[in-house]
Amino acid sequence: MKKKLIIAIDGYSSCGKSTFARAIAKELNYIFIDSGAMYRAVTLYCMNRGFIGEGKLDIPGILRELQDINIEFVYNPDIDEYETFLNSGNVEKEIRGLEVTSHVSRISQIPEVRSRMVELQRQIGIFKGIVMDGRDIGTVVFPDADLKIFMTASVEIRAKRRFDELKSKGIKVDFEEIKRNIIVRDITDENRDISPLRRANDAIILDNSRMTVAEQMEWVHRIIKNKLNGS
């Protein structure tokens, strides 16, 4: 049987991790998991239940209902993509909005939320043949991953990419607000107590500030080929 890999892609927000990870998964016919979408879905659940809002965070409430939060990735043949479902409802568009984005860092700092997500992520990875992107995939979720990539790009470029992505989805946004949001998220992600954003020692760095997706694919293609051939 053909060797199957676990590929971990970590890095800063809006670096194009998901686009890159999705493209690799498609090429290899692997499962792609956007772990950020899972934290976003939990955040949306907490918003809907009134557990989080401006100046409000009801941790006991969240912990009480944590086991009731069910997250799935469901294939949509019309767009040939997996979409995020929260307790059987499609939330793919809603979780990308600015309100979820501005609350998600606080939710992803809660230790119990993280352990629940890591547990779900490891279950998904059990059969290998998976590309997962996030912040702690190579360090915490799959420390033995076959290939670890740590992505980075300049703040300006990342803000522009997020801006274009939201605009193309019909979501109204302000460029400066997005940029501020990215800077704040970098600081929060890097400085939180549990699973802070760190490059795993054995991760390869990919700065894609000046690279197209096609160039990134060409770069990774060679690395994967070596891994699959056992070198």
Q: At what angle are helices 213-228 and 17-28 packed, to 10 degrees?
A: 50
d(CA 36, CA 1): 31
The CA–CA distances, whole Å, from 102 to 67, 76, 119 equal: 24, 27, 25
- Cα-based angle 19, 69, 74 (whole degrees, multiple of 5): 40
For residue 111, the one-letter residue type is P
The residue among 112, 127, 105, 150 whose CA lies nearest residue 8 is 150
Residues that bind ligand DC (CB under 6 A): 13, 35-36, 39-40, 104-105, 108, 134-137, 185, 189
Provide the minimum distance between the beta carbon of 159 and ligand DC in the complex, in angstroms, as a whole number. 13
Provide the minimum distance between the beta carbon of 222 and ligand DC in the complex, in angstroms, as a whole number. 26
> Which CB, 30 or 43, lies closer to ligand DC?
43
> Which CB, 140 or 220, lies closer to ligand DC?
140
CB 14 within 8 A of CB 162: yes
> Which CB, 174 or 190, lies closer to ligand DC?
190
Provide the minimum distance between the beta carbon of 84 and ligand DC in the complex, in angstroms, as a whole number. 10
Six token digits for residue 113: 């939320």
Provide the minimum distance between the beta carbon of 228 and ligand DC in the complex, in angstroms, as a whole number. 25
Provide the minimum distance between the beta carbon of 39 and ligand DC in the complex, in angstroms, as a whole number. 4
> Which CB, 5 or 103, lies closer to ligand DC?
103
The residue among 93, 118, 110 whose CA lies nearest residue 41 is 93
> Which CB, 128 or 192, lies closer to ligand DC?
192
The CA–CA distances, whole Å, from 109 to 3, 17, 22, 105, 163 equal: 35, 20, 26, 6, 25
Stated length of the chain: 231
> Which CB, 21 or 28, lies closer to ligand DC?
21
Provide the minimum distance between the beta carbon of 32 and ligand DC in the complex, in angstroms, as a whole number. 13
